[in-house]
Structure 1
Amino acid sequence: MNPFRWSFRAQFLAGFLGCAALLSYAIYTQLYQGLEPCPLCIFQRMAYAALAVVFLIGGLHAPRAMGGRRFYGGLVALASLVGIGIAGRHVWLQLLPKGTAPSCGPPLSFLQETLGPMELVRKVLTGTGDCGTVDWTLFGLSMPVWSLIGFVLLAGWGLYAAFRRRKGRNRL
């Protein structure tokens, strides 16, 4: 079965399952392998969760009209771009030479208690937590690199599903 001939519903539900699998693995590494997430990791998880919700709602709704599909494609692009930005920032922090990366500072729970929402987002995106430390690799690539790859692939998958022309009677 050719995945590029799947219905919009099937493609979006597959995107949801991909996000759910990635989130499950991230939680598994935290709970069973002892990898504590830094604030940027947590924000990447939030972006994956938002992307999963878009895929799930789009898959359940499965609009027949191209305008509805494009709407969901736009939401996929938005959630993916946020995730790409956060993961890209994380990769950049990890690529900085030792000693030149911004200080990581206090844990996210302390920041949530002491800062307002906008200050919290600004603080996290400017390098709080152990963001420059590489604790895990697969094929020589760190988890933020794999996260960035995942966002790009899921964005492409969702945009293809939303914008491709469908032929024949089975237009879902």
Structure 2
Amino acid sequence: MLDSRGFNLFMAFVCYQLLVTAYYFQFVENMEPCPLCIFQRIGVLAVGIWFLVRGIHNPRLGSRWIIVYSVLGLISAILGGAVSARHVYLQNLPESEVPACGPALDYLMEVLPVNEVISTVLAGDGECAKVSWSFLGISMPAWVLIFFVFVAVLMIRNIYRHLKPNKHIFSR
């Protein structure tokens, strides 16, 4: 399944739709994204790029590229999932423990080096703790976390399938 061109292009389209949905909420529903939301978008974009590249390349079974794309997709999903998990954590903090609101991401990018921007954003702020939208009682960052976990499981399964020794080679 994960080795088919159609599935990979479909998953790239899913990532595209997740980004379109995020921009819909931003520009139509006027829900300004917090810095963690922007980092999650980058994670979805990275996962989508790996699915798109893999779908276009369509490596043959047994090709080392299957493992390379799966590992890169897994890394993207883990990093995106870590940001989403941090966001969900902040949303579930008691109100007394929520960090104070911080400056916008564009301001941080102007005044701080990149490594400090990343650490500041991952620390989160009060803006990140707000739940502005939910579906079935699950917030937007939690849905994105579910997506990243799903992708990570697919990638781990695919890596395992292509790395396990061929039983026919060892049996006589």
Unaligned 5+ runs, structure 1 = 166-172
The answer (yes or no) to whether the contact 1:15–1:157 under 8 Å persists in 2 is no
1:140 pairs with one of 132, 137, 140: 137
2:147 is equivalent to residue 150 of structure 1 = yes
Q: TM-score if structure 2 supplies the norm length?
A: 0.87
Equivalent of residue 30 in structure 1, options 26, 34, 55? 26
Alpha-carbon deviations, 1:116-148, whole Å to 9, x = none? 111100100011461000110101111110110
Counting aligned pairs with the same residue, the percent is 39
Q: 1:56 to 1:23 in 2, by over 3 A?
A: same
Structure 2 counterpart of 1:15, from 5, 11, 14? 11
Q: Which has the higher contact order (CA 8 A, sep 6+)?
A: 1
What residue is the counterpart of 1:54 in the other structure? 50
Distance 2:74 2:145 in 1: 14
Alpha-carbon RMSD: 1.7
CA distance, structure 2, for counterparts of residue 100 and residue 7 of structure 1: 45
Deviates further, 114-123 or 148-157: 148-157
Which structure carries more helix by proportion?
A: 2
Structure 2 SS opposite 1:131: helix
Q: Read off the aligned partner of 1:61 and give its amino acid letter.
A: H
Query: What's the TM-score once normalised by structure 1's chain length?
Result: 0.87
> What's the offset of the Cα at 1:162?
5.9
1:78 aligns with 2:72: no
In the comparison of the two structures, how many residue pairs are matched?
161
Query: Structure 2 CA distance, aligned partners of 1:9 and 1:159?
Result: 18
